[in-house]
C-alpha cells in the first residue's frame, strides 16, 4: 500500500508556478519529478527513528512542507542563499532584548495561527491574540488601582473589569500581567537604560475584580530596522500595529489567556502588521476631559481615558496530540 504521508503535501504540478503568472512555465520531466519525490521520501524517512513520536511528527512534517515549498516555487540557489543570509541576519540582531524570529513569525501570521490552533473557541471565553516579543518575566506587582506606568509617557488610562470562568463565576486571585508601549511607541525594553515601565502584574480580588492605571495605548511600529523591516519594505507592507494593551491572565484550573485589547476607532484596525486584531477585543477607550473626577479619586492633570475589559477564562485543557492531528488536515490526509 502506498503511504500517502511521504508525499504530503501532494506533489506540485510540474508545469505550474503559482503566483507567478509572468514567468515562463517550468516543465519538468517525469524522471525529474520522480527524483524530487524520491528525495522527499528519503528525507522524511531519515527521521523515522526519532524516539519521541511527537518530535518525529514535527520534523517529518517540516521536511515535507519545506520540500513542497522548494518544489512549488522552483527555488533558485541564489534565492536559497538569500534566505540563509536573511535568517543569519535575524540571528545576529537577536539578543535578550530584541527577538527578530518572533517578529518574523508575527509578520508571517504564523504566531497568530499558532494562537488559533491552541485556543479553540470555547463558549464565551475571551479570545486570544499574539504574545509579541516584549513580555518580560518578573514584572513588579501593583495593588488594585495601582499605576503600572512607572513614569512611562502617555495619557493616563483607567482599566478595570472582572475575571470569570465560563460559567460566569468570579475568579479570585487570578494573576493578570499587563504590558504596553509608551506614548512614543516604545516598550521599556527598547530603551538602553534598563527601566521597567508600563508593565506590571496584579491579582483579582475576592469578587474577581481588577483595576489599574496605565497609559492610553497609541499605535506603534514594530522594530523595522532589521531584516524583518526590510522584508516589510520589500513587500510594501506597513510595520504599524493597532494601538493595544497586552494581557496575560492565569488562574488555577483555567486556561491561561494571552491577549490584547485594541482601541476602537484606531487608524490601523484593518492593517495590523501581525494580524492580531479580533472584533471582540476592540474596546471603547472613553476620553475624559481634564478635570473629570476619576473612578478612584486620583488627581490627574489633563485629559484621561477609561476602558472596561471583562475577561472570561476557559477551563484548562492539555494540548493533546489528537487535537493537533485533527486540526492538521490537508487535502484529506491526516497527519497521523
Ligand atoms: Fe505590543
Q: Which residues is 179 bridged to in the sheet?
A: 199, 246
Least confident of 12-16, 34-38, 95-99: 12-16
CA distances from 98 to 14, 109, 208, 261, 272 (A): 41, 19, 35, 23, 20
Cα 52 to ligand 1 centroid, rounded to whole Å: 35
**Which residues on neighbouring strands pair with residue 283, listed in sequence order?**
263
pLDDT of residue 136: 87
Residue of 48, 133, 53, 50 whose CA lies nearest to 96 = 133
* Ligand 1 center from residue 96 Cα (angstroms): 17
Residue appearing with cell numbers 517578529: 103
Helix (H) or strand (E) holding 156: strand 156-165
Q: Kindly indicate the confidence band of residue 327, based on its pLDDT and cuts at 50, 70 and 90.
A: very low
Q: What are residue 141's DSSP bridge partners?
A: 201
The model's confidence at residue 11, banded by pLDDT at 50, 70 and 90, is very low
Distance 71 CA to ligand 1 centre (A): 36
User: Residue 57 Cα, ligand 1 centroid: separation in angstroms?
Assistant: 32
pLDDT surpasses 70 at 18: no
d(CA 22, CA 37): 26
**Cβ pair 216, 192 in contact under 8 A:** no
- How far is the centre of ligand 1, averaged over its atoms, from the C-alpha of 132 (Å)? 6
Cα(261) to centroid(ligand 1), Å? 10
Q: What is the mean pLDDT of residues 117-138?
A: 88
pLDDT band at 13 (very low <50, low <70, confident <90, very high): very low
Lowest mean pLDDT among 4-13, 150-159, 244-253, 259-268: 4-13
Q: So what's the pLDDT on residue 211?
A: 98
Confidence of residue 22 (pLDDT cuts 50, 70, 90): very low
Partners of residue 287 on adjacent β-strands: 305
Residue 272 has pLDDT above 90, yes or no: yes
Instruction: Collapse the DSSP code of 37 into the 3-class scheme (helix H, G, I; strand E, B; otherwise coil) and give the result.
Output: helix
Residues composing the chain: 336
The Å distance, Cα 28 to ligand 1 centre, comes to 46
Comparing CA positions, the residue from 161, 203, 196 lying closest to residue 180 is 196
Contact 303, 287 (CB under 8 A): yes
- Surrounding residues of ion ligand 1, Cβ less than 5 A: 132
| Structure confidence at residue 10 as a pLDDT band (50, 70, 90) | very low
Rounded to the nearest integer, the mean pLDDT of the chain is 87
Average pLDDT of the segment spanning 77-106 = 93
What distance in angstroms lies between residue 171's CA and the mean position of ligand 1's atoms?
A: 26
- Rounded distance from Cα 201 to ligand 1 centre (Å): 16
User: Ligand 1: distance of its center to the CA of 206 in Å?
Assistant: 29
Of 258, 259, 218, whose CA–CA distance to 242 is shortest? 218
CB count, 10 Å around CB of 43?
17
The pLDDT value recorded for residue 175 is: 97
pLDDT at residue number 12:
45
Q: Select from 1, 31, 32, 27 the least CA-distant residue to 14.
A: 27
Least Cα distance to 255 among 315, 166, 312 occurs for 315
Distance CA 117, CA 329 (A): 12
In the reported structure, the alpha carbon of residue 279 is separated from the centroid of ligand 1 by a whole-number distance in angstroms of 17
**Helices (runs of H) and strands (runs of E) counted in the chain:** 7, 13
pTM (2 d.p.)? 0.80
Q: Which of 34-48, 110-124, 175-189, 246-260 has the lowest mean pLDDT?
A: 110-124
pLDDT computed for residue 25 by the predictor: 44
Least confident interval from 90-94, 136-140, 164-168: 136-140
Tell how far the Cα of 244 is from the centroid of ligand 1, in angstroms.
6
Q: Rounded to an integer, what distance in angstroms lies between the CA atom of residue 203 and that of residue 166? A: 19
Ligand 1 centroid from CA 66, angstroms:
30
Amino acid at each position: 500500500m502506498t503511504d500517502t504521508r511521504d508525499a504530503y503535501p501532494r506533489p506540485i504540478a510540474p508545469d505550474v508556478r503559482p503566483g507567478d503568472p509572468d514567468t515562463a512555465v517550468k516543465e519538468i520531466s517525469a524522471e525529474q519529478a520522480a527524483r524530487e519525490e524520491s528525495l522527499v521520501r528519503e528525507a522524511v524517512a531519515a527521521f523515522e527513528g526519532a524516539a519521541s513520536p511527537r518530535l518525529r511528527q514535527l520534523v517529518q512534517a517540516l521536511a515535507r512542507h519545506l520540500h513542497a515549498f522548494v518544489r512549488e516555487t522552483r527555488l533558485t540557489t541564489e534565492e536559497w542563499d538569500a534566505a540563509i543570509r536573511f535568517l543569519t541576519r535575524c540571528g545576529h540582531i537577536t539578543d535578550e532584548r530584541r527577538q527578530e524570529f518572533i517578529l518574523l513569525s508575527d509578520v508571517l501570521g504564523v504566531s497568530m495561527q499558532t494562537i488559533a490552533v491552541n485556543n479553540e473557541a470555547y463558549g464565551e471565553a475571551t479570545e486570544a491574540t499574539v504574545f509579541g516579543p516584549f513580555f518580560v518575566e518578573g514584572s513588579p506587582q501593583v495593588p488594585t488601582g495601582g499605576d503600572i506606568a512607572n513614569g512611562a509617557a502617555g495619557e493616563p488610562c483607567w482599566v478595570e473589569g472582572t475575571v470569570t470562568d465560563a460559567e460566569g463565576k468570579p475568579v479570585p486571585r487570578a494573576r493578570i500581567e499587563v504590558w504596553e508601549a509608551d506614548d512614543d511607541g516604545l516598550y521599556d525594553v527598547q530603551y538602553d537604560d534598563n527601566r521597567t515601565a508600563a508593565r506590571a502584574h496584579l491579582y483579582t480580588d475576592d469578587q474577581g475584580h481588577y483595576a489599574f492605571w496605565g497609559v492610553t495605548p497609541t499605535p506603534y511600529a514594530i522594530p523595522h530596522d532589521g531584516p524583518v523591516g526590510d522584508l516589510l519594505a520589500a513587500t510594501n507592507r506597513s510595520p504599524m500595529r493597532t494601538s493595544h494593551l497586552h494581557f496575560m491572565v492565569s488562574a488555577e484550573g483555567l486556561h491561561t489567556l494571552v491577549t490584547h485589547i485594541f482601541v476602537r476607532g484606531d487608524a490601523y484596525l484593518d492593517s495590523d502588521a501581525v494580524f492580531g486584531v479580533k472584533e471582540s477585543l476592540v474596546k471603547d477607550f472613553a476620553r475624559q476631559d481634564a478635570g473629570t473626577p476619576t473612578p478612584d479619586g486620583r488627581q490627574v492633570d489633563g485629559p484621561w481615558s477609561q476602558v472596561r475589559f471583562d475577561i472570561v477564562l476557559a477551563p484548562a485543557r492539555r494540548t493533546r496530540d489528537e487535537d493537533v492531528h485533527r486540526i492538521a488536515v490537508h487535502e484529506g490526509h491526516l497527519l497521523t
